[in-house]
Amino acid sequence: MRFYADRPQRRRRQVIADVLGPLWCAGMIAGGLAIRHSIRSRTSPATFLETSAGALADALAETADSIARVPLAGEALAESLRRAADAAGRMSASGASTAASIERAGDVIGLVVIVLALAAAAYVWVRPRVLWYRAASDARAVAAFPDRDDLLSARALATARLPRIGGGLVAGWRSGDSSAVRALARAELDRLGLDYPPDLSPEGHGASTGRSAS
């Protein structure tokens, strides 16, 4: 299994992409986790409110229970303290809810950053590499076929840039001109950055489509 092009220029670009791609993914995963941690660290005020209001609610409830045992006015005072304890309890619950919301926001935002970064890497790096590997594998697989040139030239008509297949090559391919067919086959190998088989190498400068696309 050959994962890289034969020609140095194309192979160099592929190697650079295969080095930068994982680094990009690792960096964005680390960045997403850092964003998540940064947002989740903002829960301190809400956590402080939850803890303080909860402690106040407990203290007021205990005081209310103690005052309730006082004759005459004790029960009325205890009722006021119980209402204050309930209010403090609601404040504590509000603080807990706010802290949980901030934590969820940190989780979601961090996850979104990571997913978007990986999706970008899949589209910009993985997808082109997979498509190239499939096309290059097909081109290498037909190297021994008797109709290799016909297959490669047909692929070139569908994939090569239009200026590269102009100049009468299409008309020559339609008429079965072997030089046009071979030129288109070389154009497909140029596009993929693959070396020419010995019997497909151009005999002169005029027969080649050039290797600048490698």
Per-residue pLDDT of the chain (214 residues; tens, 9 = 90+): 688 999 999 999 999 999 999 999 999 999 999 999 999 888 888 888 888 888 888 888 888 777 777 776 667 777 887 888 888 888 888 888 998 999 999 999 999 999 999 999 999 999 999 999 999 998 988 888 888 888 998 888 888 777 666 667 777 788 888 888 888 888 889 889 998 888 887 754 333 343 333 3
The first and second tokens of residue 102, run together, are 């901030």
| Residue 96 dihedral angles phi and psi, to the nearest 5° | -65, -40
| Amino acid in the structure at residue 128 | P
The first and second tokens of residue 13, run together, are 């670009």
Write the DSSP string, 137-177: HHHHHGGGSTTHHHHHHHHHHHHS-GGGGTTTHHHHHHTT-
| Amino acid in the structure at residue 74 | G
Q: How much is the pLDDT for 17? A: 94
Q: How much is the pLDDT for 83? A: 85
Domain spans of the chain?
A: 1-131, 145-214
Q: How much is the pLDDT for 125? A: 94
